[in-house]
Amino acid sequence: MASAEAVAAVVEAGGAHVPGLMDALEARLRVVAKSHGATLGEHACATIEAGGKRLRPLLVFVAAGPSASGHDAALRAAVAVELVHSATLVHDDVLDAAVLRRGRPTVVASAGRSIATATGDLLFSRAFAELAGGGSAQAVRVLSDASSALVQGELLQREDAWQLQTTRERYLRRCDLKTARLFRAACELGALAGGGNAPLLGEFGERIGIAFQLLDDVLDVSGPAERTGKHRGTDLLDGTVTLPLILARERDPELAKLDLRAVRTPEQAESVCDAIAATGALEEARRSALAMVAEAKAELAALPEASQQAALELVADGVVDRYR
């Protein structure tokens, strides 16, 4: 994730309206999380309070700009985007039987599969209720399309599990569906709320979303756990083939012969991570991410507001900052 300092810089550059909206976001998320009974409310609140830097809602606010009428539409969109993101994390943890998320016990680890599934379902449903309250059918379509893409991406990842022959192109398609489309939706929803250029801002969001996922996959190999909130090599243990492994197998004959199902312990995963790093694959994956960020920033030259351009450039730089 982007560093706290990078996010603070975006908040400051985004305009006088952004800090208040970020505060309103947190307050509304807490209200929504507590809205359906003590049991689900407890776990929904725990999911929301686990944090993250709120990068996606921040994108909504910056893409909306200060002209967003009354800011209500931008706030509703930002809440909805963060709820969808949180729901996907809870459901991913159910599918992966994950124990930790952001350094804390997951809902599935602490309360079981049924409660975790219901918690994720609650967050999803409340996201669309929040957005529909603003009365924009177009906004609901944007978030619905992004949510459908998330499902497609998850199915693609399940289909590709343990498949070491996964190509770079297929991997990037998965990144687009699972991660980048929600970034795109955040930017498009902000543009709709503020009357901005939705296609341009959406393209920017999609590019930095792919870069975000690339660097997340690099971090899974490079670690350490105290920074990422999960064990180094978690993707390997889950059978998830990412770009660092794809590139490393092209360079190392031993990795080319790897049986991923034989990697069963954190210690074995760390050993494979060391072998991947030794090939230089992490640097190549990072260069790919940096190129996407540069392309995304170049798109912003067409924006009429210099302050909005500067704030979005800081968002892009914050995506890169998470690797340092």
Q: Kindly write down the DSSP assignment for every residue of 42-100, as one continuous string.
A: HHHHHHHHT----HHHHHHHHHH-TTSGGGHHHHHHHHHHHHHHHHHHHHHHHHHT-SE
The CATH homologous superfamily for domain 4-310 is Farnesyl Diphosphate Synthase (1.10.600.10)
For 270, the token pair is 């760390």
Q: What is the mean pLDDT of residues 136-148?
A: 95
* Most confident of the following: 168-172, 307-311, 314-318: 168-172
Nearest Cα to 145, choosing from 153, 155, 134?
Answer: 153
- Whole-number mean pLDDT of the chain? 90
Q: Which residue has the tokens 């924009």?
A: 136
pTM confidence score: 0.91
pLDDT confidence of residue 217: 95
pLDDT tens track for 239-271: 999 999 999 999 999 999 999 999 999 999 999
Q: Are 168 and 185 in contact (CB under 8 A)?
A: no
**CA gap 246, 123 in Å, rounded:** 34
**CA gap 59, 157 in Å, rounded:** 26
pLDDT tens track for 2-23: 566 767 777 777 777 788 899 9
Q: Which long-range contacts (CB under 8 A, 24 or more apart) does 94-98 make?
A: 94/120, 95/154, 95/158, 96/238, 98/230, 98/234
**CA gap 251, 276 in Å, rounded:** 9
Domain parsing of the chain, residue ranges: 4-310
Sign of the alpha-carbon torsion through 157, 160, 165, 166:
negative
Q: What is the mean pLDDT of residues 300-317?
A: 90
